Amino acid sequence: MALILGIESSCDETSAAVVEDGSRVLSNAVASQIRRHAPYGGVVPELAAREHLKAINPIVGQALSDAGKTIGEMAAIAVTSGPGLMPALLVGVNFAKGLAAANRLPFIGINHFIAHIYATFLDTGIERLKEPSLYPMLALVVSGGHTALVLITAGSQARLVGTTLDDAAGEALDKASKLLGLGYPGGPIIEKTAVKGNPTAYHFPRPLCGGAGKPVPEEHRYDFSFSGIKTSLLYHCRRLGGAEIKLPETEFYDTVASFQEAVVDVLAKKTLKAAADFGAASIVLAGGVACNGVLRQRLEDLTPKQVQLYLSPRKFCTDNAAMVAGLAYHHLRLGRTDALTLDAFARLPHLSEVPFNC
């Protein structure tokens, strides 16, 4: 039995968790900074780091006490080492290094992006990850920092087949929400507000989907672009609501619903196209935006019967340390621990493999 303490501080959630053998989540404590960043309409990196500094010690203590365990019972300390906001990452990485050194425990740096994919199977189905019938697996990781399609083989090889050329989908929702005066974080607020509107009232562009007679360049067939859709929202709002962007009620709700529809439509279409082209046996939806009910339902409706669809449980979609501690189990199992000189990294590195199915 291996208990791992995981720590997550890549963005605006300070989280710590204790997970047994990669799947049994004994605790998952999360301190959210949403209220601190809300006035700015987005995450301010230095402010995030300062909040992590305050929260990290108590949250680690809480994770251990919720699990009914002591640090001495841990088999390793794991931490998100990237990608993410550098000032925020450094707090978690340094704290985890200190804990590992003081308690003479193995130290493991975790790729946050792969952890989001792993979160889908956490707590219920990591055994399934070993089934060859799941592969090739196509994962859509869609969050505030990423929008990417990853193809994973039964042999644990991973390849980024598509990514965003500019904004991530969550970032576009957050920026749209700010523009519409709806607040932060945009994704959940837009989802709630969109219920009151008609998603087909307006047509926002679907970039890189081949609409409006614009063929998709071959090299961007599976890529995303969300900055244009945001600009078109701005023009649309000015047209309907003037410089002050004061839209009448019906138009306002229809705008929110139509904007969300455009984002969901692009995500679903691109994913299903890539799944068909690569002969994917399963599709995985992960990351913060995977909380979105309209996106979940769309994939449920459109995924062909012969393809297995795995939607991340909502409680593990947004940033959390359970996915970090869970994935770290596989690093430990494979003897892949890290030196205390390990560096943090801000951007998604080249992906070539995942540790969870080998």
In the list 111, 292, 337, 357, the residue contacting ligand KG4 (rule: CB under 6 A) is 292
Omega of the bond prior to 199 within 30 degrees of 0, cis?
A: no
Distance separating alpha carbons of residues 142 and 299, to the nearest angstrom: 13
Query: Which CB atom, from 261 or from 319, has the smaller least distance to Zn ion?
Result: 319
**Binding mask 160-199 vs ligand KG4 (x if CB under 6 A, - otherwise)?**
----------x--xx----------xxxx--x--------
Give the amino acid at 331. Answer: H
Which of these, 6, 12, 10, 105, lies nearest to 64 by C-alpha position? 6
Least separation in angstroms between residue 15's CB and Zn ion is 10
In the list 3, 11, 30, 49, the residue contacting ligand KG4 (rule: CB under 6 A) is 11
Q: Is 18 in the site for ligand KG4 (CB under 6 A)?
A: no
Which of these, 52, 293, 319, 34, lies nearest to 183 by C-alpha position? 34
Q: Which of residues 92-111 bind ligand KG4 (CB under 6 A)?
A: none
220 burial (CB, 10 Å; 0-12 / 13-18 / 19+) is: middle
Distance separating alpha carbons of residues 250 and 193, to the nearest angstrom: 12
The residue range among 15-23, 140-148, 297-305, 335-343 that interacts with ligand KG4, by the rule CB under 6 A, is 140-148
Instruction: Tell me the longest C-alpha to C-alpha distance in the chain.
Output: 63
- Torsion (CA) 191, 122, 327, 186 in degrees, nearest 10: 10
Query: Which CB atom, from 158 or from 180, has the smaller least distance to Zn ion?
Result: 158
Query: Which CB atom, from 254 or from 319, has the smaller least distance to Zn ion?
Result: 319
Binding site for Zn ion (CB under 5 A): 143, 319
Query: Which CB atom, from 3 or from 19, has the smaller least distance to ligand KG4?
Result: 19
Least separation in angstroms between residue 298's CB and ligand KG4 is 12
Query: Which CB atom, from 192 or from 336, has the smaller least distance to ligand KG4?
Result: 192
In the list 87, 109, 288, 326, the residue contacting ligand KG4 (rule: CB under 6 A) is 288
Query: Which CB atom, from 143 or from 357, has the smaller least distance to Zn ion?
Result: 143
CB atoms within 10 A of CB 127: 9
Least separation in angstroms between residue 73's CB and ligand KG4 is 29
Residues 6+ apart with CB under 8 A from 155: 358
Give the amino acid at 317. Answer: C
**How many residues interact with ligand KG4 (rule CB under 6 A)?**
19
Q: Residue 60 has which token pair?
A: 């680690």
Residues that bind ligand KG4 (CB under 6 A): 11, 143-145, 170, 173-174, 185-188, 191, 287-289, 291-292, 318-319
